[in-house]
Amino acid sequence: MEADINLSESMEDYLEAIYNLIKENGSARVTDIANHLKIAASSVNQGLKKLNQEGLISQEKYGPIKLTESGLKAAEKVRCKHRMLYLFLHKTLGVSQESADHDACRIEHALSEESFSKMVDYLIKNNYIEEQNCAFKMKAEKEEPKMAAEQLMLDKIKVGSKAEVVKIESKGRLKRKLMDMGLNKGAKVEVKGRAPMGDPIEIKVRGYSLSLRQDEAAEILVKEV
């Protein structure tokens, strides 16, 4: 996943900015990105072109900018590095919040995979981060398939099996809706059945029956129990 894309520092900044803007405002536009990064709109356009070529973003004419799946992964990764660095500097070394944030922002682009993974191990060992943290997901994706096999998406669960929700990976309204319906971390679910033609599926959660489509279930990370 990471070997094939080697992003320059500014590209990573763009990705992070787009990610944050989408999260904050629901969409990212060129002017917003320019404001966010405090650079000219023309250079943003150039950067976006590159990201587009790399297949990290997609943009319809005059439409808002969207992150593709690999773009989202890359952005989450940068963000995760940022968080880990911040935690490392602030919590273990006692660097002040502002400096830790600022430095994290600079170091994140240069940090090697190895240093990142060692740093995460250290943070985990000393209980600075909890299991829900992004680093765990990154590790789970990378490490031996054993760990990955334990956690899978809800649509892969067989009818009649039970599982526990680890994370909702959907974004925006759908994520909120799923969580409002009681599908949050730790919720126990049982797959009760599939509709004719295999879609949607019926699950039992918090004592009631809920239906959702396959592609919605495919955004819910669970572990079998």
Partner 1 sequence: MALNKTKRKNNELKVALAGNPNSGKTTMFNELTGSRQHVGNWPGVTVEKKTGRDSYQNYSLEVIDLPGTYSLGAYSEDEVVARDFLTTGDYDVVLNIINSSNLDRNLYFTVQLLEMGVDLIAVLNMADEAEKKGIKIDKEKIGQLLGTPVVETVASKGRGIDSLLAETVQHRDLSEAALKIDYGSEVEDLISEVVSMLKEFDFTSQINQRWAAVKLIEHDPEAVKLLEREVGVSKAKKIKSLIAERELKAEDDFDNIIIDKKYEFINKVISESVQRPAADQEPENVSDKIDAIVTNKYLGIPIFMAVMWGIFKFTFTLGDPLIGYIEAFFEAAGGWLGGLLVGAGISPLITSFITDGIIGGVGSVLVFIPNIFLLFLAIGILEDSGYMSRAAYVMDKVMSKLGLHGKSFIPMIVGFGCNVPGVMATRTLDSKRDRIISILINPLMSCSARLPVYVVFAGALFPNHASTVVFSLYALGIVMAVIMAGIFNKILFKGERSHFVMELPPYRFPTLKGVFIHMWEKVGAFIKKAGTIIFAVVVLIWVLANLPLGVEYASAQSLIGQFGQLMAPIFEPLGFGNWQAASSLVFGILAKEVVVGTLGVVYAAGEGGLRAALTANFSPLAAYSFLTMVLLYTPCIATLGAIKSETQSWKWPIITASYLFVLAWLVSFVIYQGGMLLGIGV
Give residue 53's Cα distance to chain centre: 22
Residue 94 Cβ, how far from partner 1 at the closest point, in Å? Answer: 15
Instruction: Name the DSSP class of 28.
Output: B
Name the one residue in this structure whose structure tokens are 């892969």: 156
Residues that bind partner 1 (CB under 8 A): 20, 23-24, 26, 79, 82-83, 86-87, 90, 97, 101, 129-130, 132-133, 168, 173-182, 184-187, 192-200, 202, 204, 206-213, 216
Nearer to partner 1, 41 or 174 (CB): 174
Residue 157: strand, helix, or coil: coil
Q: How far is the CB of 50 from partner 1 (least distance, A)?
A: 24
**Min CB(162)–partner 1 separation in Å:** 11
DSSP characters over 14-36: HHHHHHHHHHHHS-B-HHHHHHH
Q: Which is nearer to partner 1, 48 or 87 (CB)?
A: 87
Smallest gap from Cβ 131 to partner 1, in A, equals 10
40 Cβ partners below 8 Å, 6+ apart? 34
Could you tell me which residues are beta bridge partners of residue 204?
Answer: 190, 209
